[in-house]
Amino acid sequence: MLARPRLAAAMPARPASGLVAGLSRHPSGRWGLILALTLGAVAVAGPWLAPHPPNIPDYGAALRPPGPGHWLGTDATGRNQLSRLLDGARRSLGGAALVAVAITLIGLVVGTLAALGARWVDAVVMRAVDVVMALPGLILAFAVIGLLGPGYTNLLIALIAADWAYTARIARACAFEAVRSPAAIVARQIGVPEWRVILHHVLPPVFWPLLVLGTLGLGGQIAAISAFSFLGLGVQVPHAEWGAMLADSRHLFTVAPWLLLAPAACILLSVLASNLLGEALRDLATPEGRS
């Protein structure tokens, strides 16, 4: 959880075009892409695919095993598990995506500002980053939740707070080099406005490593959201989330194992997809790593 992947700081800039083609040629990237696209589509289309309302109980239909009508069975209050898994996907996957996007944006802004700004700005920002990075991510997340109280929004805030610093540091390193790259220097000398230099010569080389980092981190975020919700510190009732569904049904394992196995499988597949995709992106970014 919240692992900080090791990453070569300087990565070649690559156009986003050809990304999908590159991924589909990559042995693990192909599977990662298929899995991720499927899960993403399911999460987005969840409300339309769900055969039943996710939060409305039906006591007469409690604990039905998987079968026609309830393809993944029902829980202790007769709610359709498939519908709850689909609804939960929006919180498990959507939340992780939101955290990843927020971390990337914060990292991009903080890192680029540090690299572009005055020396003292750089020094202050990077010292702050150092302090946050000295905190183990999990501990920081626990501290935020401990102070703000349990809840889904607080959980997302905690995960962002725990993980933004590393991204900021990578972004700063990449932007620092890009600002001083020959192309950027030439562009400035021929009178290209500063904002265009940033847009064309600084942001693109920063973006690529952050994309890899974000994708690799996604799996950790999914696992973290489900773990915190499992502990009751994340998503609150009656809303569905995969980790919370696991926690709700754990004492029913002997009579309804499907209530434990299905959400576990969902978490496993999502983290797997993110890991496979992240590995493939890393390989594509560093050609020598393609073995």
Which residue, 103 or 235, has its beta carbon nearer to other proteins?
A: 235
Q: Applying CB under 8 A, which part among 81-89, 104-112, 141-149, 178-186 lies near other proteins? A: 141-149
Residue of 186, 251, 278, 281 that binds other proteins (CB under 8 A): 251
Among positions 206-245, residues that touch other proteins (CB under 8 A) are: 219, 223, 226-227, 230-233, 236-238, 243
The CB-of-39 to other proteins minimum distance in angstroms stands at: 12
The CB-of-263 to other proteins minimum distance in angstroms stands at: 9
Residue of 148, 183, 185, 186 that binds other proteins (CB under 8 A): 148
The CB-of-80 to other proteins minimum distance in angstroms stands at: 13
Which residue, 41 or 56, has its beta carbon nearer to other proteins?
A: 56
The CB-of-161 to other proteins minimum distance in angstroms stands at: 9
Residue of 131, 183, 185, 199 that binds other proteins (CB under 8 A): 131
Which residue, 18 or 27, has its beta carbon nearer to other proteins?
A: 27
The CB-of-148 to other proteins minimum distance in angstroms stands at: 6
Quick check: 145 binds other proteins (CB under 8 A)? Answer: yes
Among positions 149-168, residues that touch other proteins (CB under 8 A) are: 149-151
Quick check: 8 binds other proteins (CB under 8 A)? Answer: no
Quick check: 47 binds other proteins (CB under 8 A)? Answer: no
| Look-up of token digits 């409305």 | 56
Q: Which residue, 99, 95, 97, 78, is CA-closest to 87?
A: 95
Distances (CA, A) of 7 to 71, 113, 130, 174, 222: 42, 21, 17, 12, 21
Question: What does the binding site for other proteins look like in residue numbers (CB under 8 A)?
Answer: 3, 6, 55-57, 59-60, 62-63, 76-77, 127-128, 130-132, 134-140, 142-151, 219, 223, 226-227, 230-233, 236-238, 243, 246, 248, 250-256, 260, 264, 267-272, 275-276, 291
